[in-house]
Structure formats: structure tokens, C-alpha cells
Amino acid sequence: MTIPTYSTVKQFCEKYPAFTYGGIRNNIFHEKSNGLKAAGAIVRNGKKILINDEKFFIWLEAKNSGEA
């Protein structure tokens, strides 16, 4: 089993500067309608929101190809 890489929204934006904080927060706000929740890319631990980096990019690729 590989351990997934989780990042806070701030950490994610620092690692991947192509993504803005506001843009990621907007995707999280609309996670039910845009498929992000179904992709399993967002994990909540109490009030903390974490992004599963790998699943986020899989979701992004699927959305880009019209599959999501």
C-alpha cells in the first residue's frame, strides 16, 4: 500500500503555483457539482480540508478530457 500525499489548500498552491488559492477553494466549494467529491480528491479531518494530490490531478485530467 502506498501512502497518499495530502496537502492543505495553501501547501497545494505553494507546490503547484499554476493553481491559485481562490481557484482551489472555488473548486472545493462546488465539489459536489464538479465531481471533485466523487473523485475522492478532498478529505476532511475535522475543520481541516486536505487535498489528495494524485486524485486531484486524475480528476483534473478527466475533467479536461470531458470524462468527468
Find the mean pLDDT for residues 4-23.
97
Residue that has been written with the C-alpha cell 495530502 in this structure? 6
Share of the chain above pLDDT 70, in %: 96
pLDDT band at 35 (very low <50, low <70, confident <90, very high): very high
Is pLDDT of 67 > 80? no
List beta partners, residue 6: 52
Place of cell 493553481: 19
The span from the CA of 10 to the CA of 67, in Å, is 28
Q: Is the pLDDT of residue 1 over 90?
A: no
What percentage of residues in the chain have a pLDDT greater than 90? Answer: 88
Residues 48-61, mean pLDDT to the nearest whole number: 96
